[in-house]
């Protein structure tokens, strides 16, 4: 039930996918950036039996917004309820639920939002953004759940760690991606815009939001263009979300994590099985795609880390 002054919107979608599989995909909030197009990054803050609290960054109306939410997860009724604890204008309050209603003909997914705006004039734009993002999330969720392969075969994470002379210097190298065309042999061109995050929790207010378009040279001499949103926290981390992933993937996000003398490159990918044979050749399987992605994406990250370490100079 909506609170006084709140408005309600409900989005639904039917699917042949089993209700529990859909519930489990929504419950795994860490995978959202690779599964849901609007989500850029999720940081889990607390987790206990049936509850969790997390901070999320997502593209809303073309801009990156952040908020903190608390969720209650009920695997018996297949229901997830949520409420934002820290919102950003024009939202004054936001909550809702995911419900998965299985029957003999499949599952009805029901996504409900109860919300209030700081200004009633902002309601049309807020409704439009909710309609757009909810539609994308429902479509992506159903598409993944309906795949023949289990989601855990299609969505997976891997990482590489390399020692460097200085984590701070490595951060500076990777953060200045606008210079990569001069520093990395496989990068032909980078276009970069950035802005300060400005709002959100105090510990992330020094974060910058980068919009990066990069053209790279492939091993066969061709070119490939990607566009990513990057969230940069000085000397700590750079997380990113590819807005247009490679043909083999339906989603790709990652992170550069900096220690005193180490850098870890992490990737989370969602394979599009319908494109596997097109990209890798007739007879190729999802297992082949996993191996290929681990090798290719890992090699690119390790090459960037080696150049970052070389730029920093020898360890003292």
Output the furthest CA–CA distance in the chain (Å, rounded): 67
β-pair type (91-103, 106-117) = antiparallel
Q: At residue 198, does pLDDT exceed 60?
A: no
Express each pLDDT in 162-179 by its tens digit. Answer: 999 999 999 999 999 999
Domain boundary among 146, 174, 205: 146
* 119-151 per-position pLDDT tens digit: 889 999 999 999 999 999 999 999 999 999 999
Task: Say if residue 183 is in the same domain as residue 209.
Answer: yes
- Cross-strand partners of 71: 52, 82
**What three-state secondary structure class fits 34?**
helix
User: What integer best gives the mean pLDDT of the chain?
Assistant: 92
What CATH number corresponds to the domain at position 167?
Answer: 3.30.530.20
Residue that the structure tokens 């999720």 belong to: 42
Q: ω into residue 90 within 30 of 0, thus cis? A: yes
Query: What's the pLDDT band for 201 if we cut at 50, 70, 90?
Result: low
Tokens in use for 263? 């850098």
Q: Is the residue at 2 inside a domain?
A: no
82 and 175 in a single domain? The answer is no
d(CA 226, CA 28): 26
Give per-residue pLDDT as tens, 83-125.
999 888 889 999 999 999 998 889 999 999 999 999 889 999 9
Cα Rg of the chain (Å, integer): 21
pLDDT of 1 reads 47
The verdict on 137 and 157 lying in the same domain is no
Q: Are residues 81 and 142 in the same domain?
A: yes
**Is the same domain home to 15 and 73?**
yes
Q: Are residues 284 and 301 in the same domain?
A: yes
Residues 308 and 205 in one domain: yes
- Return contacts of 150-153, CB within 8 angstroms, 24+ apart: 151/21, 151/24, 151/25, 153/271, 153/286, 153/290
Q: Which of 146, 174, 198 is the last residue of a domain?
A: 146
Residue 238 sits in the same domain as residue 285: yes
What predicted TM-score, i.e. pTM, was given to this entire model?
Answer: 0.91
Structural domain containing residue 175: 153-312
> What is the per-residue pLDDT across 26-35, written as a single tens digit (0 to 9) for each?
999 999 999 9
Which of 125, 146, 167 delimits the end of a domain?
146
**Stretch 218-227: mean pLDDT:** 78
Q: Are residues 308 and 159 in the same domain?
A: yes
157 and 253 Cβ atoms separated by less than 8 Å:
no
Total structural domains within the chain = 2
Q: How many residues does the chain have?
A: 316
């Amino acid at each position: 039930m909506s609170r006084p002054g709140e408005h309600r919107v409900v989005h639904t979608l039917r699917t042949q996918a089993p209700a529990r599989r859909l519930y489990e995909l929504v419950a795994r909030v860490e995978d959202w950036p690779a599964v849901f197009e609007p989500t850029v990054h999720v940081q889990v803050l607390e987790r206990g039996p049936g509850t969790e609290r997390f901070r999320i960054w997502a593209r809303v109306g073309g801009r990156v917004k952040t908020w903190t939410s608390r969720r209650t997860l009920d695997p018996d009724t297949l229901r997830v309820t949520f409420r934002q604890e820290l919102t950003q204008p024009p939202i004054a309050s936001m909550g809702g639920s995911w419900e998965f209603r299985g029957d003999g003909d499949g599952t009805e997914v029901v996504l409900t939002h109860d919300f209030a705006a700081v200004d009633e004039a902002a309601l049309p734009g807020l409704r439009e953004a909710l309609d757009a993002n909810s539609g994308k999330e429902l479509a992506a969720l159903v598409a993944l759940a309906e795949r023949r392969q289990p989601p855990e075969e299609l969505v997976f994470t891997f990482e590489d760690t390399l020692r460097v002379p200085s984590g701070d210097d490595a951060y500076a190298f990777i953060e200045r991606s606008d210079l990569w065309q001069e520093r990395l042999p496989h990068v032909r061109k980078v276009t970069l815009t950035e802005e300060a995050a400005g709002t959100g929790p105090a510990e992330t207010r020094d974060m910058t939001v980068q919009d990066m378009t990069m053209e790279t040279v492939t091993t066969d001499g061709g070119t490939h263009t990607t566009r990513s949103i990057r969230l940069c926290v000085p000397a700590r981390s750079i997380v990113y979300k590819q807005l247009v992933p490679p043909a083999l993937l339906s989603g790709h996000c990652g992170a550069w994590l900096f220690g005193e003398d180490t850098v870890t490159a992490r990737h989370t990918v969602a394979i599009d099985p319908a494109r596997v044979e097109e990209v890798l050749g007739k007879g190729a399987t999802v297992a082949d795609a996993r191996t290929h992605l681990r090798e290719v994406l890992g090699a690119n990250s390790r090459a960037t880390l080696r150049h970052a370490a070389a730029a920093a100079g020898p360890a003292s």
